[in-house]
């Protein structure tokens, strides 16, 4: 049973698990060597839940946008310390929201931005840009314009070889000193050490992050935690009771179906067709 993509299942591990018969999980499976599973007779079941994003992650993304733009952590901490109002926040209405990666979660976040009266821009692959355009959103004229013109940029990309470090130090340097970068996807979408350096140099002026290069973060001295212009949460984008109920229901339904001899959501059906599944 897997619920996180960071658990890699490759041939060397499969060789050490001679009684493994089923891998049951939800969503994408780039962390699983499906061909090796087929070779070893292991069924992989994964509900791809087409058309249904992680609304929990989309909602947290928007919570982070509001928290950072209105300085909510600072205001709450000041009030608890006996101080009335510190700093001045920013209104979202009329500003430009940039959605980098217009997929299931990105499209939900774009809808939130539209509901708040923001101008929504999109960037990403050609397919991502086309989906955004067909939904009526503005596609940035270039990546450079996307980073230089948006007031809030939210990352919604999967971490694969092509997207690792796709947000460079140069991209961040183009952002406005009043802009906010939000990352609830994967930390390594951003070039190593680039975000901390960019925040220290003042472009962008703020960040809100739920993901980190190494997790869990247990060192209170982590540079992002020490910055007043950064809102940090401990990778809780998907962590809600509702999301857990949804994910575990899918995972257990697949296990029950397999046990009944009628496996569902099978990624490698050839393992069943040739009768090579482990018994």
Respond yes or no: is residue 215 known to be catalytic: yes
Sheet holding 138-139, edge to edge: 138-139, 119-123, 96-100, 152-155, 180-183, 206-209, 230-232
Respond yes or no: is residue 270 known to be catalytic: no
Q: Which among 31, 188, 235, 278 is annotated as catalytic?
A: 235
Provide the β-strand partners of residue 153.
98, 181
Respond yes or no: is residue 235 known to be catalytic: yes
* Burial of residue 73 (number of CB atoms within 10 Å: 0-12, 13-18, 19+): middle
Least Cα distance to 147 among 71, 184, 112, 198 occurs for 198
* Residue 204: cis peptide before it, omega within 30 degrees of 0: yes
Alpha-carbon gap, residue 26 to 24, rounded angstroms: 7
Alpha-carbon gap, residue 256 to 21, rounded angstroms: 13
Q: Which among 8, 133, 144, 215 is annotated as catalytic?
A: 215
Alpha-carbon gap, residue 121 to 88, rounded angstroms: 26
Q: Which among 156, 186, 191, 203 is annotated as catalytic?
A: 186
Q: Tell me which residues are annotated as active site.
A: 186, 215, 235
């Amino acid at each position: 049973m897997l619920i996180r993509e960071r658990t890699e299942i490759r041939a060397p591990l499969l060789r050490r698990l001679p009684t493994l018969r089923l891998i049951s999980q939800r969503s994408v499976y780039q962390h699983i060597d499906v061909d090796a599973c087929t070779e070893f007779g292991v069924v992989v079941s994964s509900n791809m839940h087409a058309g249904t994003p992680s609304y929990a992650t989309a909602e947290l993304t928007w919570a982070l946008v509001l928290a950072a733009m209105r300085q909510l952590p600072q205001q709450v901490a000041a009030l608890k310390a006996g101080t009335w109002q510190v700093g001045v926040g920013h209104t979202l209405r009329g500003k430009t929201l940039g959605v980098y990666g217009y997929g299931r979660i990105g499209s939900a976040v774009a809808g939130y931005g539209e509901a708040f009266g923001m101008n929504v821009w999109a960037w990403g692959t050609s397919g991502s840009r086309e989906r955004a355009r067909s939904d009526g959103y503005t596609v940035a004229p270039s990546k450079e314009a996307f980073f230089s013109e948006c007031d809030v940029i939210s990352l919604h990309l999967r971490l694969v070889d092509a997207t690792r470090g796709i947000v460079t130090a140069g991209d961040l340097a183009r952002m406005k000193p009043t802009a906010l970068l939000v990352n609830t996807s994967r930390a390594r979408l951003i070039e190593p050490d680039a975000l901390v350096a960019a925040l220290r140099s003042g472009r962008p002026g703020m960040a809100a992050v739920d993901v980190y290069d190494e997790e869990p973060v247990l060192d209170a001295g982590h540079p992002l935690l020490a910055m007043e212009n950064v809102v940090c949460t401990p990778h809780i984008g998907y962590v809600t009771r509702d999301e857990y109920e949804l994910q575990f229901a899918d995972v257990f339904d697949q296990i029950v179906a397999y046990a009944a001899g009628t496996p569902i959501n099978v990624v490698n059906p050839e393992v069943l067709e040739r009768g090579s599944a482990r018994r």
